[in-house]
Amino acid sequence: MKIQVGKTSGFCFGVRNAVDKTNEILKKEQNKKIYCLGELVHNKTIVNQLKKDGLIFIDTIEQAEDTTIIRAHGVEKKVYEIAKKKNIDLIDLTCPSVLRIHKIAEEYALENYYIFLIGKKEHPEIIGTYSFCGKNASIISEIEDVDNAINNLKESNLNKLLIIVQTTYSTKVFDEIVKEIQEKIPQNISIEVKNTICRATELRQEETKKISKEVDLMIIIGGKNSSNTNKLYEIAQKECKNTIFIENSEELDKEKILKFEKIGIMAGASTPQKSIDEVIKLLE
C-alpha cells in the first residue's frame, strides 16, 4: 500500500493562531471564566478538548460575562459595539485574511459601491463580513443567485460594484459566478473584482485535485461542518470515484481500505495534525 499525504494538509495560519493563543489564555487564566463566541474552529476534536480545558462556548455576546474570544471566522460588527457597552474584554482571534475582507467591505461601502459577497449565506464568516458591507449588498451563495443580486443592484441606482468572496470558497465556482455576473451586468456599471480566497485555501484545493487523479482511494479528513473541508471533498470526488470524508480514524472501514493500493490523504484547514497522524498510523 502506498500512502500520499498532501503537504498543505492541516492547520492554516489563522486556525493555528486561534488555537495556540486560546490554549495559552486557558493555561494563564486557569481561575478565570473564559468565553468563546461560537466554535473557535470547525472541528469537533478541538472544540471538545477546549471544553475539557475550561473554555465556555456561547452563542451570543449577551451571554458573556468577562473575557471573550472571537473565533477565527470573525463576527458581526455589532458584537464589538455590544461588548464595549458591557465592558467585555474581547480577544480578537479572527483570521487576518477575514479581517482584511472586513476592512475592504467597509471602505468600499463608504465609497458608494454596491457589494456582491460570494459565499455560503449560513457560514459564520459570511454572516460577519456581510455586516461590514453596509446597506447596499447582496450575498451570492451559488450561480442561481446572480439574477436576484443584479436586480438588487439596479434598484439601488449605484453604478459601481465590488465583488468579494469567502476565504474558503471554491476557486472554480468563484470564477464561474464572476463570469456570469460580467456577462449579465449593465454596461454602465463599473466592476471591481477582488479574489479574497485565502492563498492557503487555493493551494490546498489545487493539491487535492492533483493527488486525487493519482490514487485509487482519496481520504478527506476534517469537520463535517467545515466549509473548506467540504470543498476538498467535492474536488476529490470529481477526480477519484473512491473518495471518503471522515472526521477521524475511527470512521475508517478497515476491510474496504485493504483492496486499495494507492491512497491519498488531504485534511482541511481546521484539522489537527493528531487526527491526520492517527489515520496514517492505522493505514500503515
Distance CA 187, CA 55 (A): 52
- DSSP code for 140: E
Q: 97 and 167 in contact (C-beta within 8 Å)?
A: yes
Nearest one of 240, 251, 249 to 276, comparing CA atoms = 249
Q: Of residues 39, 125, 207, 247, which has the active-site annotation?
A: 125
User: Residue 250 catalytic?
Assistant: no
Distance CA 223, CA 270 (A): 8
Q: How many angstroms separate the Cα of 104 from the Cα of each of 86, 170, 185, 269?
A: 28, 20, 22, 23
> Across-strand partners of 76?
none
Neighbour-count burial of 146, counting CB atoms closer than 10 A to its CB (0-12 exposed, 13-18 middle, 19+ buried): buried
Catalytic residue ranges: 125
